[in-house]
Amino acid sequence: MKTLVIVESPAKAKTIKKYLPENCTVEASMGHVIDLPKEQMGIDIENNFKPRYIPLSDKKEILKKLKETAQKSEKVVLATDPDREGEAISWHIANYLGLDINDNDRVEFHEITKNAVAKAFDNKRKIDMNLVNSQQARRILDRLVGYKLSPFLWNKIKKGLSAGRVQSVATRIIVDREEEINNFIPQEYWLIAAILKKSGDNKSFEAKFYGIDNKKKEISSKEEADDVLSRIKGHDFIVDDIKQGTKQRNAPFPFTTSTLQQEANKKLGFTTKKTMMIAQQLYEGIDIKDRGYTGLITYLRTDSVRVSEEAKDECLKYICETYGKEFAMYARKAAAKKTNVQDAHEAIRPTSVVLSPDSISDSLNKDQLKLYDLIYKRFVASNMKPAIYDVLTVNILCNDVTFKATGSVITFEGYLKVYNNKTEEDEDNLLPSLSVNEVLNLVELKNEQKFTTPPPRYNEASLVKILEEKGIGRPSTYATTIGTIQNRGYVALEDKKFFPTELGVLVTNLMKENFTDIIDYDFTAQMENNLDKIAEGDEEWIKVISDFYVSFEKELKKAQNIEKIKIPDIISDVKCDKCGSNMVIKEGRYGKFLACQSFPNCKNIKPLLEEINASCPKCGESLVKKKTKKGKIFYGCSKYPACDFSTWDMPTKEVCKTCGSLKFKKSRTKNAQAYCLKCDSENLNK
C-alpha cells in the first residue's frame, strides 16, 4: 500500500525514510503551510473569534506537491512534531488534503530512532483537537493583542511600534530591573579576615570574622570595624572548636528546554536562538559516517526531566563499563514538581549513549559537537552518584572575637567525573591539621570597606530563568521573544547584558498605566495555565479568549483618551556636514544614530560613533565602537572608509607599557590575554 508520510523538515524526512518500508514516500511541509493572513487580523471577533486561515503564499508549491502525492497514495500519515504547533500543522494539512481528522492518521515520536518510529506507526491515533485548540487560542490571543495594541502605540507614540502578549512582559522584566538598579542605595559593610598559619608551617589559610561572644554579627560601619580590631589587638588566635563532617553535591537532572538554553548560554556562549536551531538539527538527524542520517537527541521542546526506563538502563550499563559500578546511581529522588510543566515528552537526552561525542565528532560541525557533548554528558551525569566532600569547620577565638575557617576536599568525584558544574565553594580548600587550644600565628589582618551592589542586569541565561520562574510564555518561544524585543528596539544587548532603551522604557510605562492585565506577570502566567487547561481538555478555547477580550477591550477604549506622547530629541554637539545644523540623537532598529535637526528640510543621517581611548594601529586616528545590523559590537577606525581597520576584540582597562595605548582581548576566548593593537602586530585583524 502506497503511503505518504508528512513531516516538517527535509532533514527529518531523510532520517525517518531509512526506518520505513520502500512503499512509503516522505515529504516535508517546511513548517506551517496554513496560517492567519499577514496583512489582516483574520479573526471574526463577532463570530466567536473565528479565525480565517489561508495557505501561506510561499508554501503554495509545497501544498500543491503534497496534494498531488496524496492523490497517488492510498494512505496519508501525519508525522509532524509532537507538540501543539506540530498538532496544528497536521490539522491544517489534514483539512487541506480532505482527510478525516477522526481517522488514525497521526503518529508522534519523541526521538527519531528505528524503535521509536516503529512504535509510533504501531500506535497511530486521531488528531488531538485539544492540542490544536490550545495552539489556536495562543495564536488568536497573540494576534488580537498585536493588531489592537500596535496601532494604539503608533497613534500615541510613533509609527512602527509593536506590542505583544509575551514580548511586552519580557520587556517589562528588563525595564523593572533597570529601575531597581537606578533606585538602589548602597549599604556599607566591612569584611575582616585573619590570614593565619600553624607554627612551623609555611602554608597560610584564611579565617573570616564571624561575631562576638559566639553571636553572629554584621559590621556596617568603620566604628564597628575599629571596635573589632581593638578587641583583637594584643591577643592570640586560639583554636576553640573543630567540626568534621561530609557534604554531597547531587548531579543535575537531564536538560529541559529552559535549562538547556541557560546552560548553553553560560558554558558555550550560545544565544537561545542558536541553541534551539542546533538542537533542532540534532533531533531531526545528522548524516553520521557509516550510519546515514541519525537522530541524535530526543525532542527539544520539553519541560520534563523524566527519562524512559530503557534509556536509563542503557546509561547505567555504560557507566558501569566505563567508570565502574560505584559511580552508577540506580535510584534517585524525583525532581520537585513545578507548575506549568508539560510532561508529554522526556527530558532532552541522547537517543543512545553508544553514540558518544568522540565517536561521531567527525560527522558534526563545531557547534553541533559542543551542544551534543553538553547534552550527552549532562544525561550521563544525571545517572551517576553525588560527589562527596569531607568538610572541616574550625572556630578560632581571639579574645571574645570569633573567626571561622572552612576547608573541604573531594573524596569521591561521583558525577563530576563526567560533568563539571562546580562553583568556587566546591573547589578543594585544604586546612592544615589543627587541634583544640592550639595557638596560631597571625600573618595578616584584612580590614576592607565594602558596599552592597545592585541586582545584576539580565543576560540571556538569567532572562530565560526568570521568564520560566514567572511562567511567562513557554521555553520553546523564548528565543523568538528575546529576538523580537531586541529587533523592536525596546532592549539592547551590551557586554552580554540587557539594557532597556529609552523607547522600551517609554512603551513599558505607557502599558503599565493603561493595560494593567497585559503587562502583569501573574495575569500572563495565568493565561499560560489556561492554555495548558485547553490542551488537557479542561477549558473551552473560545471562553478563554472571550474572558480575556472583554477586559482588554475596556482598557483599550479607555486608553484612547490619553494624549499623544512626544519623544524629546537629544541634541548633540555634532554639526550636520550638509546644512550646519546641530544633529540630534535618534533611536532606530539597530540602535542610536544621528539625524539632522532640520529634518525634513535636511534628511542627512550618520552613525553615532562612541570614541574609545585607543588609537588605530594602521593610521593613528581614534577607534570607535560600532554595531553590525544584528547588534554585534565591533571596533573600527573613525576614518572609515579611508582606513578599513576593524576588530571584534574588546577594550580592557590595561594600558600598553610600550606605547600607552589601551589593550584589547579576544571577547569570545575564555581567559584570553590582553594585547596591544599597536605593538602586538601579530594579533591584528585575526
Give me the active site residues, please.
299
CA distance 237 to 398: 5
Q: How many C-beta neighbours within 10 Å does residue 454 have?
A: 14
In sequence order, the 6+-apart residues with CB closer than 8 A to the CB of 185 are none
Q: Which three cell numbers stand for residue 100?
A: 478525516
Q: How many C-beta neighbours within 10 Å does residue 387 have?
A: 20
Answer for the pair 319, 357: CB distance below 8 angstroms, yes or no. no
Q: Which three cell numbers stand for residue 459?
A: 543576560
Q: How many C-beta neighbours within 10 Å does residue 188 have?
A: 14
Q: How many C-beta neighbours within 10 Å does residue 130 have?
A: 18
> Given 3-state DSSP classes, what are the helix, strand and coil percentages for the chain, each rounded to the nearest 5?
35, 25, 40
**Exposure string over 229-252, b if 16+ CB within 10 A, otherwise e:** eeebeeeebebbebeeeeeebebb
Burial class (CB in 10 A: 0-12, 13-18, 19+), 70: buried
Secondary structure string (H, E, C) spanning 64-128: HHHHHHHHCCCEEEECCCCCHHHHHHHHHHHHHHCCCCCCCCECCCCCCCHHHHHHHHHCCECCC
Sheet of strand 591-596, all strands in order from the earlier edge strand to the far edge = 570-575, 582-588, 591-596, 605-607
Answer for the pair 385, 415: CB distance below 8 angstroms, yes or no. yes
DSSP codes, 155-167: HHT-TT----TTH
Phi and psi at residue 371, to the nearest 5°: -70, -40
Q: How far is CA 113 from CA 19, 49, 299, 361, in A?
A: 8, 41, 12, 19
CA distance 177 to 313: 45
Q: Which three cell numbers stand for residue 150?
A: 500596535
